[in-house]
Amino acid sequence: MTATARPAAVGGERIPTGKLAMWWFLASEIMTFGGLLGSFVLFRFAAGGWEDQAAHVNWRIAAVNTLILVTSSWSIVRAHHAVEEGDRLGAARGLLVTVVLGLTFLGIKAFEYRTELAHGFTPWSAPFWSFYYGLTGLHALHVLAGIVANAALCAVAFRGRGWERVGQRVEYAGLYWHFVDVVWIFLFPLVYLS
């Protein structure tokens, strides 16, 4: 047991500080995204006519992006598995796939934004579009942050130097990445399908 461990539940296993900190961070993120999603739902109930605006978003592209994000969750959990197995290069490959899929997600999202803006659907067009750009934009920023973290870990994993020190962080990066995936799992039907 390292010095960076804290007691967990009574009689339970000790939780590494990094993991505990990540879960605390995710708890704050639940409030951030949950507040926005709740506001979206309440505003939509309070003011009618949002369906006309929502009909203009491209659910097919968003479905492809959902598939990409779900697949990236698989690749990063494979990377975590590889860390547990002591397979550094396996972890590096898993992280690399996750980074590439994350960049693909952002590329598709950028294409989607460009198309919508070209059709005149700006953040100030209607309340729906304000929420649309706010929610998906904040999510995209989180994807970008995850890509940066995963890319940094991927570089260390390929290089090998310092891997013993940072290998465990793949689990923390994975927790964050899965959370971003879960947010999208709810964002997709909320914005594109309902």
Q: Phi, psi (5° rounding) for residue 145?
A: -60, -40
3-state secondary structure of 119: coil
CB 119 within 8 A of CB 56: yes
> Binding of other proteins at residue 151 (CB under 8 A)?
no
Of how many residues is the chain composed? Answer: 194
Print the binding letters for residues 82-121 with other proteins: x by CB under 8 A, - otherwise: --x-------------------------------------
Cβ atoms of 19 and 2 closer than 8 Å: no
Please list every residue from 22 through 81 that binds other proteins, using CB under 8 A.
23-24, 26-28, 30-31, 34-35, 38, 41-42, 45-46, 59, 63, 66-67, 70-71, 73-74, 77-78, 81
Size of the site for other proteins (CB under 8 A): 44
| End-to-end CA, the chain | 49
Distance (Å, whole) CA 165 – CA 159: 13
- Summarize as ranges the residues that interact with other proteins (CB under 8 A): 8-9, 12-13, 15, 20, 23-24, 26-28, 30-31, 34-35, 38, 41-42, 45-46, 59, 63, 66-67, 70-71, 73-74, 77-78, 81, 84, 174-175, 178-179, 181-182, 185-186, 188-189, 193-194
